[in-house]
């Protein structure tokens, strides 16, 4: 008589987590993605995290993230020490250059001109090298309905068309913040239409696909900013809203000093060329972050 077949237990689904950045709550996202953001330096090790319905606590005190958070903290300290050492080397180079210039004032006019020419050539070569080595890294996008006051107060971008209602030819009224029903964190909150709740029907996977296919088209805007501002480095977080007609209707750059200006205008122009599937209901916000290295 044949032995009964052994049952193989199905693998448990990967847990998903919420996390906070300032007053905003993002997610839920898979545990592996949260660890990846931590290891890439997109999130500090003391970021508050929680499972849906649970209490928030720092990653350094959350069992599944403790080891990753400790490694991230150590890496941050090492990188800070490396940056400080690089600043010291730069100061030493500038001191040597100042010494050469001082010696040049004692020498002949021709020697002074030669020193100045060499100094300028060295500095220009360094600038070109930095631009050639420029690296831009994009973090995974986060798509969510966020009860953010900015989405109610700002005007739509100029290239955005009026969004018609799901039925009829008139534009659908935008509900006030107070009238929007709250939904679970990370899940689509229902919009209101004629006093009735209407579930948002945007396709999160389609939004991810459009972002993945087009995000590199924003890189020239960052490189142009570096050309204007050679010290422009680090994180460039930004958020945009997708309208019901599949066009980007709002853009915020969440870095001090860049809420408007050439960088904002360039990114707004590029985002205006993106096309998402049309949908009904509340408009989602997409949060991205680029890191400029080199």
Determine contact, residues 189/183, Cβ cutoff 8 Å.
yes
Q: Cα 21 from chain centroid?
A: 12
pLDDT of residue 214: 94
Write out the two tokens for 131. 């631009």
Angle at 17 between CA 187 and CA 142, to 5 degrees: 55
pLDDT digits (tens, 9 = 90+) for 103-132: 766 565 565 565 455 555 444 333 434 455
Looking at per-residue pLDDT, the higher value among 144 and 292 belongs to: 292
Coil vs helix vs strand at 78:
helix
Total Cβ atoms within 10 A of residue 75: 13
Q: What is the rounded (10 degree) CA torsion for 192, 196, 197, 202?
A: -60
Nearest to 277 by CA among 251, 238, 252, 242: 242
Average pLDDT score over the chain: 76
Q: What is the pLDDT of residues 1-21, one digit of tens each?
A: 566 666 554 555 668 889 998
CA–CA separation, 234 and 224 (whole Å): 15
Q: How many CB atoms lie within 10 A of CB 86?
A: 10
Confidence of residue 174 (pLDDT cuts 50, 70, 90): very low
The domain locations on the chain are 16-70, 142-146+155-166+173-293
* Reported confidence tier of residue 178, pLDDT bands at 50, 70, 90: very low
Query: What is the DSSP annotation of 174-213?
Result: PPPTTTSPP--TTSPPPEEETTEEE-----HHHHHHHHHH
pLDDT in tens, 63-99: 888 888 888 888 888 888 888 888 888 888 888 888 8
């Amino acid at each position: 008589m044949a032995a009964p077949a052994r049952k193989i237990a199905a693998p448990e689904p990967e847990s998903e987590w919420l996390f906070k950045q300032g007053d905003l709550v993002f997610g839920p996202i898979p545990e592996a993605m949260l660890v990846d953001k931590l290891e890439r330096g997109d999130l500090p090790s003391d970021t508050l995290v929680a499972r849906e319905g649970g209490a928030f606590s720092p990653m350094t005190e959350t069992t599944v993230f403790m080891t990753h958070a400790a490694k991230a903290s150590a890496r941050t300290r090492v990188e800070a020490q490396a940056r400080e050492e690089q600043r010291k080397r730069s100061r030493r180079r500038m001191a040597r250059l100042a010494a050469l210039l001082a010696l040049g004032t004692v020498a002949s006019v021709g020697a002074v001109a030669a020193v100045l020419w060499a100094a300028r050539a060295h500095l220009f070569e360094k600038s070109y090298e930095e631009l050639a080595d420029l690296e831009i890294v994009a973090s995974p996008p986060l798509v969510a309905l966020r009860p953010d006051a900015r989405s109610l107060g700002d005007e739509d971008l100029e290239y955005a068309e009026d969004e018609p209602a799901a039925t009829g030819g008139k534009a659908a009224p935008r509900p006030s913040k107070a009238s929007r029903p709250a939904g679970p964190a990370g899940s689509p909150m229902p919009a209101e239409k004629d006093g009735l709740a209407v579930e948002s029907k945007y396709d999160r996977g389609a939004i991810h696909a459009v972002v993945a296919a087009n995000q590199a088209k924003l890189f020239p805007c960052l490189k142009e900013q570096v050309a204007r501002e050679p010290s422009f480095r680090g994180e460039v977080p930004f958020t945009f809203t997708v309208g019901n007609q599949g066009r980007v209707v709002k853009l915020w750059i969440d870095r001090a000093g860049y809420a408007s200006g050439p960088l904002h205008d360039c990114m707004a122009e590029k985002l205006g060329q993106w096309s998402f599937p049309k949908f009904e209901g509340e408009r989602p916000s997409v949060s991205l972050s680029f890191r400029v290295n080199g």
